[in-house]
Each structure stands twice: as C-alpha cells, then as structure tokens.
C-alpha cells in the first residue's frame, strides 16, 4: 500500500512538472520565440499601394513595409515580410504561418473575436471611387450598381450598406481599380489614401465620390495568447508615435500625416 502511494505521488509530481513546463513554454512563447529566431514575420497583401506593394524592381516597399522594418529593429530582430492573399491572411496568422499581420488591417469587432490588435499605427477611412466623368454626385446613387472590393476587407459591408446590386470580389486594389478604370464595375470602395494615391499616379481615370463612408483604426494583428509579443510591439509603436517616426514615414509615402486622429 505504501509503495502504491509513493508511486502515485511520483506520478503526480511528474504530471505537475509537465504542466508547469507547458505553462512556462506558453508564457515564454511569442516574444521569446521571435527573439530566439532573430526575426519577426509580418504578413501583408503586397498589392496595396502606397502601403505595401512591389515596385518596378520587384521590391516590396511602402508605408507598412517601413513601419514593419522599424518595429523589428526596435525589437532587436530582422524583418521577414510575407505576402499572401488577403482573403486568407487571418487564418494564416492563426495557424502560425507568420507572427503578425502588419498590412493596413482595420480593427473590427468581428476580427477581435479571433485575433488581438495592437494600438493603431494610423487612421483612415472607407472611400467610394467612380470613373472620372461619371454622372454620380452622391454615393447613394450607386444603389443597385456593381461595386468592386478586395476579398476579406471590411469594404464589402460598405458596399452592401450602399445597396449595391452586385459586390464583386478581387485579389487586391490593383485589380479593383483596373476594373473600375475599364468600366467593368461602377464603383470601388477602398481606403481613401489608396484612392488618392491611385488618382495621383496617372494610371487610372477615376475620382473620389463624396466624403469617406466611415473612419477606421488600423493596427497590427496577433494570435490570441501572444500577449508578450503584442505588449512589446505596442511599446515600439508608442515610441514611434512619440518620437515622430510614424509621422515621418507617413509623409514620406503619403505626403500627409495619417498617424494622428
């Protein structure tokens, strides 16, 4: 009987040790994982100029890319950017393909159910664009029309809210704006800055229609439970807000400061 009790006690101690090791591994988790790897991987679409896109030399550049690189530097690691389709970007994060999403993702209640967000690093709004010279004078006139948006974005809800007859889904805004330019869709809803940048590029014969449909807080997404990494990135972003780094990067890419509300 005494031997059985000793055996049970030994088993209990072993199980407790395993549980402690598991908890310890969970606590050390995200930040230690990144520090040990010496790099942090941030996902983005790669088709969202001027925030993240491939230039003529096939280099990934843009506001998001520079922000991600600066965050990585302040964490003491290198940046590993990952480009992927927006429609599956959250699932890629949740399955551990990358450490975070730093690709102009808006904070929404629905997304907060499955991921955690950093403090915002910029603020923007949903904007409706139409073909230049179109007869529309108000967004309400797009009711029953064809509106293009990027798959997986919050802009599809805006299109539904306008009463669009058909919401067309595309891989990125290079495609949505090309379709608008070619008259395939009647309107496109995207980030206001993206729209202004597209107009100024001279590649598209398009125009803004009305004021932004709503405002958005843009932040970095992380897996639920990656609290230590989230906290460290929040520290970096707060410092970048305070020392003007984010404002400088915004002016570099957007000719205006969108990092203050």
pLDDT digits (tens, 9 = 90+) for 161-200: 999 999 999 999 999 999 999 999 999 999 998 998 898 8
Four-residue CA torsion sign, 68, 70, 72, 78: positive
Average pLDDT on 127-148 reads 96
Judge if 83 and 152 occupy the same domain: no
Judge if 152 and 169 occupy the same domain: yes
Please check whether residue 198 lies inside any domain of the structure: yes
Q: Is the per-residue pLDDT at 67 higher than 60?
A: yes
Containing structural domain, residue 169:
124-215
Q: Is the per-residue pLDDT at 5 higher than 80?
A: no
Confidence grade of residue 109 (pLDDT, cut at 50, 70, 90): very high
Please check whether residue 44 lies inside any domain of the structure: yes
Residue 15 CA to chain centroid, in angstroms? 41
Please check whether residue 259 lies inside any domain of the structure: no
Judge if 118 and 197 occupy the same domain: no
Per-residue confidence (pLDDT) for residue 28, from 0 to 100: 56
In angstroms, the Cα distances linking 210 to 128, 139, 169, 189, 190 are 7, 7, 22, 12, 13
DSSP 107: P
212 versus 1: the higher-pLDDT residue is 212
Judge if 232 and 104 occupy the same domain: yes
Per-residue confidence (pLDDT) for residue 136, from 0 to 100: 96
Q: Is the per-residue pLDDT at 2 higher than 90?
A: no
Judge if 46 and 166 occupy the same domain: no
Per-residue confidence (pLDDT) for residue 8, from 0 to 100: 45
Judge if 114 and 132 occupy the same domain: no
Q: Is the per-residue pLDDT at 21 higher than 60?
A: no
Instruction: Find the helix or strand (DSSP H, E) in which 69 lies.
Output: helix 63-75
Does the bond joining 26 to the residue before it have cis omega, within 30 degrees of 0?
no
Per-residue confidence (pLDDT) for residue 214, from 0 to 100: 94
Q: What is the mean pLDDT of the chain?
A: 90
Number of structural domains (the chain) is 3
């Amino acid at each position: 009987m005494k031997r059985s009790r000793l055996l049970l006690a030994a088993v209990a101690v072993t199980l407790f040790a395993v549980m402690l090791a598991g908890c310890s591994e969970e606590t050390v988790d995200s930040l230690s994982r990144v520090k040990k790897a010496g790099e942090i991987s941030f996902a983005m679409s790669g088709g969202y100029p001027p925030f993240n896109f491939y230039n003529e030399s096939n280099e990934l550049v843009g506001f998001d890319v520079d922000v991600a690189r600066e965050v990585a530097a302040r964490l003491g690691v290198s940046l590993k950017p990952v480009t992927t389709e927006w429609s599956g970007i959250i699932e890629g994060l949740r399955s551990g393909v990358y450490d975070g999403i730093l690709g102009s993702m808006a904070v929404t209640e629905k997304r907060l159910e499955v991921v955690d967000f950093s403090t915002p690093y910029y603020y923007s709004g949903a904007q409706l664009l139409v073909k230049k010279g179109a007869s529309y004078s108000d967004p309400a006139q797009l009711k029953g029309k064809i509106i293009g948006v990027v798959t997986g974005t919050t802009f599809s809800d805006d299109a539904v809210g306008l009463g669009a007859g058909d919401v067309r889904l595309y891989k990125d805004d290079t495609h949505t704006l090309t379709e608008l330019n070619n008259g395939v869709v009647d309107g496109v809803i995207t980030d206001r800055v993206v729209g202004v940048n597209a107009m100024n590029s001279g590649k598209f014969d398009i125009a803004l229609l009305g004021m932004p449909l709503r405002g958005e807080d843009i932040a970095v997404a992380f897996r639920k439970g990656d609290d230590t990494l989230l906290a460290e990135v929040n520290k970096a972003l707060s410092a970048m807000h305070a020392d003007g780094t984010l404002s400088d990067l915004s002016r570099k890419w957007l000719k205006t400061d969108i990092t203050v509300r």
